[in-house]
Structure 1
Amino acid sequence: MTRLSPLSLLQAVMGIIVVLLWVVAARADEAPSRIVSVGGAITEIVYALGEEDRLVARDTTSNYPAAALALPNVGYIRRLSPEGVLSVNPDLILAEEGAGPPEAVELLQEAAVPMIEVAGGYSQQAILDRIRTVADVLDVPDKGEDLAARVKADLAIAVAATEGLDEKRVLFILSMQGGRIMAAGDETSAQAIIDLAGGENAVSGFVGFKPLTDEAITLSGADVILLMDRTGDHGITNEQLFAHPALGVTPAAQTQSVVRMDGMLMLGFSVRTAQAITDLSQALQAAGS
């Protein structure tokens, strides 16, 4: 066997190092191909961009399109399972703002898994910004611009169709456990979609979702009760709603005006929001008629 001189051996080692550095650099330049999508809005955008083949897992809120349900589930957006995320060997976690809990995020950071948080927001511009951000991360900016343009046009048509409609007072109820009404106030996704659909939030003066007093419910003068379309233990029937003494005296109770919509469609603020605006606007106008 031929022995290499020290100089030749050094040159060979240096050559290997150069190759390895080139491979690492090449991989660093590659767009992510094993992505965990956390947040239904993000997942919908990835599919709308035609980049779904790069997804290897999703969170519980990612329930649209139906094909996404075939992906491994890594838990609820705010209660992620680090073990579940790491089990799919991702090269990127693409998450909506507020994903967690913090200890889960810390564990993923310690495992050196890159995580990009996409800003939230409930305006039309926020939706377009979210689309462009996801497209840039996936290295398909042209697709992002095309999708943003289509969504912007759809939103404009949907909002224009609500002009001149009766502005009904809408009370969005998140839950009513123990008879306590948890409702949407200012700066919430529910208020934003109600406004876009041509309605008026029946309660205000507080930020976020809070329990209401019976007096506040009565004074809301709600024409329509808006709920997420849930089943099982989380479902609320009309009978349960209007058996509540305060809800029972609202205008909505007199006309039995209740609207139920898919939660992600209504509150996701993603590529389907124009459809949500149209569906909700039509439902509000039909309520009580």
Structure 2
Amino acid sequence: MAGEGQGPVPARSEILGGVMNVRLCSRRQFGLSALMTGFSGASIRAPRADGARRFVMQDCRGRRVAIGSMDRIVSIGGTVTETLYALGMAHRIVAVDITSTYPPSALREKQSIGYMRTLSAEGILALRPDLIIAMNDAGPAAAIDQLIASGVPIVMIDATRSLDAVGKRILTLSKIMGAEQAGTAMVVRIDNQKRTLSAWKSLHRERARVLFVMRIANGRPMAAGADTAADAIIGLAGGVNAGAGMSGYKPLEREALVELRPDVILMMSQGGQAMREALLGDEAIRMTPAGERHAIIDMEGEKLLGFGPRTVEAAFELARQIDRVTRPS
């Protein structure tokens, strides 16, 4: 699974002022307009990287990678693509994988190399890239090994799903592209968003049970357990993953689903109205608090699960939606 442009770096007084405003607001006054510092969609204007720079860097696997020109980049992973676009480097990308759903123009403008976990090394190399940047969970392993052996520089990017990792990925990619100033500005902005989210959660301490459903397979909801991006984003939003007792993604039997008693069902907006109707039509889901209230939240998949530049924004949006659908009438 798995960029949005960023705004200017706020002054320290603006950051502190935003937090002060949050502390002075009541829960009912804590509206979206008072919290939008750090959540704008404006793009950072990054300096163009010199395509002929030559340097050596160490990737997340400990490999030393010699990087030269960067005029034909293959970006593997929606998080990588979103970040490169946010850094102003879209013009250097020639191809992306299908998880690169943000910005929407990426899949329209660039060639597609398919799904990031079913890559074809031959297909990628046929594009004559001078640099490949890939999330560390891309695969299969044999294809990654072929790309490494080809001699084309390939940088593997840490795929850890955490806020600390989000910042580190941005700084790593900005360093590669020679856009350190833009990368630092993005991280400062995310730090401001984190303060806003923390202040919101301090005023909304109820912890709803949220069940993320990836899809419905053979009539059974495929739900997220621990060690998933969904588990991480639910926790970041202040919720409790109702499926945390299992690991990874698992199809749920009727009895198991009822016993989880989710207050909210979370899904990707890519599932559309058909999936929403299927969930509400499921007898087991109708027996849960979420089903009784029709409490289903849908969000764009890469924003929700990608752990890229929009992650804190996604967590805040999710927190507000959870509050809305679980608040007593």
Please, what TM-score do these two structures have when normalized by structure 2? Answer: 0.74
Aligned amino acid, residue 32 of structure 1: M
How many residues get paired? 264
Question: Does the CA contact (< 8 Å) of 2:231 and 2:244 recur in 1?
Answer: no
Deviations for 1:164-207, whole angstroms, at most 9, x for unmatched residues? 32321111111221122211111211111111112111122222
User: More deviation in 250-259 or 30-39?
Assistant: 30-39
* Equivalent in 158, 173, 177 of residue 138 of structure 1: 177
* Equivalent in 61, 64, 73 of residue 35 of structure 1: 73
Matched, 1:220 2:260: yes
Question: Does the CA contact (< 8 Å) of 1:155 and 1:273 recur in 2?
Answer: no
Q: 1:175 to 1:26 in 2, by over 3 A?
A: closer
In 2: Cα distance, 1:206 partner to 1:221 partner:
15
Which protein has greater RCO, CA pairs closer than 8 Å, 6+ apart? Answer: 2
Aligned amino acid, residue 121 of structure 1: T
Q: Secondary structure at the match of 1:183?
A: strand
Question: Does the CA contact (< 8 Å) of 1:36 and 1:92 recur in 2?
Answer: yes
Aligned pairs (5 A) from 1:1-289:
30-69=68-107, 70-165=109-204, 166-231=206-271, 235-238=274-277, 240-288=278-326, 289=329
Q: Secondary structure at the match of 2:101?
A: coil
Report which of the two structures shows the higher radius of gyration computed on alpha carbons.
1
Aligned amino acid, residue 246 of structure 2: F
Question: Does the CA contact (< 8 Å) of 2:210 and 2:234 recur in 1?
Answer: yes
**Structure 2 unaligned residues grouped into runs of 5+:** 1-51, 56-65
Aligned amino acid, residue 109 of structure 1: I
Q: After the TM superposition, which segments of 4 or more aligned residues of structure 1 sit over 4 Å from their partners?
A: 24-29
Question: Does the CA contact (< 8 Å) of 2:171 and 2:180 recur in 1?
Answer: yes
Q: 1:124 to 1:135 in 2, by over 3 A?
A: same
In 1: Cα distance, 2:223 partner to 2:271 partner:
19
Aligned amino acid, residue 171 of structure 1: L
Question: Does the CA contact (< 8 Å) of 1:31 and 1:139 recur in 2?
Answer: no
Question: Does the CA contact (< 8 Å) of 2:54 and 2:69 recur in 1?
Answer: no
Question: Does the CA contact (< 8 Å) of 1:217 and 1:246 recur in 2?
Answer: yes
Q: Secondary structure at the match of 2:244?
A: coil
Q: CA RMSD in A?
A: 2.2
Q: Judging by fraction of residues, say which structure has more helix.
A: 1
Deviation at 1:29, TM superposition (A): 6.4
**Structure 1 unaligned residues grouped into runs of 5+:** 1-23
Question: Does the CA contact (< 8 Å) of 2:208 and 2:239 recur in 1?
Answer: yes
